[in-house]
Amino acid sequence: MPRKSNTRAASGSGTIRQRADGTWEARFVVGHDPGTGKAIRKSVYAKTQKEVRQKLAQAVAAVDSRAYREPCKMTLGEWLDIWADTYLTGVKPRTVKIYKDDIRLHIKPYLAAIKLDELDTHTVQQYFNTLLTNGKKVRKKGDDGKIVYETAPLSAKTVKNIQGVLHGALRQAVINRYIPLNPADGDFCKLPKVKRQEIKPLDEMQITAFLDAIHGNPLEDLFIVTLFTGLRQGEVLGLCWNCVDFENNVLTINKQMQLHQEQGMKAYQLVATKNSKARTITVAPFVMEHLKRRKVEQAKQRLIAGALWQQNELVFTDQLGNHLTKPTIYRAFKKAAASIGRPDARFHDLRHSYAVAAIRSGDDIKTVQSNLGHATAAFTLDVYGHVTEQMKQDSADRMEAFIRSVSGS
């Protein structure tokens, strides 16, 4: 059995001893109990005397500079549970679900057992690298007919989202003084750049064809409002009559319809907009005419439904006053899009079509940003900057044609 030994640290601010199991312990004073005046001692451990001396020196220096933190006994998995249950108040229910799913499916299986204060940047970087190479399980049927699971890479965007969840939880741990630094910080960890998905708005001919295709469709007014205001799908589904100002042609966008799912239950709820900020949009009279038509049609539906009518303030409802669902919108839109030769189009492309049309019509980026509800004009320019570049080229081409016409060349 290794002999016990006591060796006073050179600085005289702690003691080192070898334990019965052969490991080394260093004890040091972190302060004094205000009630009894007795010294409060803490310990650090290591496999060798040299290593424990280094840990002792670091601990003593931290105490002297008042930067010492009590070692955290929680695992990362335990802290993630606390963070998700305690620090996400005010976050939209759907976002909370996404965060919890990322924790359950993508973070805990790899990092849950690691002590919170032992998680370092190298480990986090290796974790992200793993997700980028084989972070997804793909369910397949084998040659023998049995179900097998294979691994596949997660997309850079998905890993970036997971990094955001982990970073947020660890940022709170720093605030709580559980850890000194955030090992998932973007300054420390390197992730591949997320390539922005190419936008595919409808061009002028396709917009004309789309308007013809939806003529007489029960959702015609909804499609037109979306196409010529740029509202997000949840925003148009959550639009209420008290947010429609017919006198001034203004819409107030302060909520959205969002699907919330928890414990196997699904339900649509009205929640705050994406950036939790209300905005107003001054819209074209053409749009307001369709909203007036929609109001008249809804009044007729209410009379026919009678007692079955579901009373609410929503602009777009079914024949009984119930809110519309995203699958209903999806099916109707895809049918119309396919009929004009754009089976690849998404409902969100109506929003892109509005933005591109607005910019080409002469709206400045700041106005388009405000109407779309983007957080910054820089983001709007990043998404639609190629449109302004094309406009510059078109301007140069027009000038070239003018020069040739006046110069005779």
Check residue 130 and give its pLDDT.
94
Check residue 84 and give its pLDDT.
95
Domain residue ranges of the chain, discontinuous segments joined by +: 5-64, 76-175, 204-394
Q: Is 217 left (phi over 0), alpha (psi -120 to 50) or beta?
A: beta
Was domain 76-175 assigned CATH 3.40.50.280? no
Tell me the three state secondary structure of residue 65.
coil
Residue 335 has, within 13 A of its CA and on its CB side, a CA count of 13
pLDDT tier for residue 12 given thresholds of 50, 70 and 90? very low
Q: Regarding beta strands 256-262 and 147-152, do their DSSP bridges make them parallel or antiparallel, or are they unpaired?
A: unpaired
pLDDT, average across residues 120-131: 94
Interval 374-391: pLDDT, tens: 988 888 888 887 776 777
Q: How much is the pTM?
A: 0.69
**Number of residues written out for the chain:** 409
pLDDT, average across residues 236-260: 94
pLDDT, average across residues 345-364: 92
Q: Over pLDDT 70: what percentage of the chain?
A: 93
Measured distance CA(269)–CA(255) in Å, rounded = 10
Was domain 204-394 assigned CATH 1.10.443.10? yes
Is residue 76 pLDDT above 90, yes or no?
Answer: yes
Tell me the three state secondary structure of residue 57.
helix
Which helix (DSSP H) or strand (DSSP E) does residue 130 occupy? Answer: helix 121-134
Inter-residue contact 339 to 356 (CB < 8 Å): no
Q: Regarding beta strands 24-32 and 14-18, do their DSSP bridges make them parallel or antiparallel, or are they unpaired?
A: antiparallel
Check residue 1 and give its pLDDT.
47
Measured distance CA(335)–CA(109) in Å, rounded = 41
pLDDT, average across residues 349-376: 91
pLDDT, average across residues 322-351: 95
More confident residue, 179 or 351: 351
Mean pLDDT over all residues of the chain? Answer: 88
Is residue 10 pLDDT above 50, yes or no?
Answer: no
**Which residues, in sequence order, are CB contacts of 145 under 8 Å at separation 6+?**
none
Q: Give one DSSP letter per residue of 258-321, joined into a string.
A: EEEEETTEEEEEEE--TTS--EEEE--HHHHHHHHHHHHHHHHHHHHHGGG-----BSSB-TTS
Using H for helix, E for strand and C for coil, what is the string for 159-202? HHHHHHHHHHHHHHHHHCCCCCCCCCCCCCCCCCCCCCCCCCCC
Q: Give one DSSP letter per residue of 386-401, joined into a string.
A: HHHHHHHHHHHHHHHH
Is residue 141 pLDDT above 70, yes or no?
Answer: yes
